[in-house]
Every structure is written in structure tokens, then in C-alpha cells.
Amino acid sequence: MINVASEPFDPGAELSAFEKKASGAGAVVSFVGKVRAIAGGDPVKALYLEHYPGVTERSIGEIEAKARQRWEIEDALIIHRVGALEPGEPIVMVCVASAHRREAFEAADFLMDYLKTEAMFWKKEIRKSGEAWIEPRKEDYKDAARWRQPARNDEEE
């Protein structure tokens, strides 16, 4: 399930509902990203995220489909906030259920790398010193590049 949300979400409640839905899975991995309180040594007052409605959801759906092709995923949940957020608020949550832990961990990592580098979101931090648009870091692109390698299953064939 993909949810681009303008309202806050409760990660604990979302995880609980996801685990109930995926009760047959042997592994559930979750990740929650939050708004930083400090960026580059500067206090953050707020984070503002923009997106293209419909286009953003469709692109996230495509990457989820790629994850399902690459790993044996029983279920996935992707929640990403848009609008104005305060420090400490959850921005993103990714949950993956699979029969085995490795598939769940790798698929969740893959999905987060995509969300950090390729998903159609624009982020602006409102800092004490002013406003700054946030771009993915070099490390984010390096992390995402490793998925261009063949999957473990592909190497065995």
C-alpha cells in the first residue's frame, strides 16, 4: 500500500496494523524517517515537502513493483508525508513483510534508497538562518547505485 499523506501518521499504529495484515510472514522490517532538529549545525524550524499528486504515487508504485520482482515480498507499506512538518515528526515509513529476514531487509533498504534519490518529492528546510532546498547527498546516490547490480537470485541463474 502507498500513502502520500498530508496529515501526520502514528508509526506504532501503522506497524501494528501492517503486522496483523501480514500475519503469515516470517519477517517484518520497518523504517521510520523523522524531521531533523538540526541540519548543518543550524536549528530546523520546519520541513516543507511538495509533490506531484498522482505522478508521485504512480512512480512509487512502480518501484514497489520492482522490489516485488526482485525479492519474495508478501506485503509492503510505504507512507510519505507532504506539506509542513515540525522537527521530530515522521516523514516516511517503509514496512516490508517476507518469509525470511534477508528479503525483508533488502527490499526495505531498496525502497528507501529510491525514496531518497528518485521519488518526486521536493524538500525545503526552514532553518533559523533561512530557507534551504534539500537535495539527495552523494552518499544517497552511492547507496542507490548498488541496486543496479544483479540480484542475488539473478547471479545464481
Close Cβ partners of 20 (under 8 Å, ≥ 6 residues apart): none
pTM score of the predicted model = 0.87
| Ramachandran category for residue 126: left, alpha or beta (phi over 0 → left; psi -120 to 50 → alpha) | beta
Report pLDDT for 148: 83
Whether the pLDDT of residue 157 is over 50: the answer is no
Residue 112: give its domain's CATH number: 3.90.1170.40
CA 66 to CA 82: how far, in whole Å? 24
| Mean predicted lDDT score pLDDT of the chain | 90
Residue 20 located in a structural domain: yes
Helices 101-117/55-70 angle, 10° precision: 150
Question: 134 is in which domain, residue-wise?
Answer: 2-145
Q: Is residue 80 situated within a structural domain?
A: yes
Q: How many domains does the chain have?
A: 1
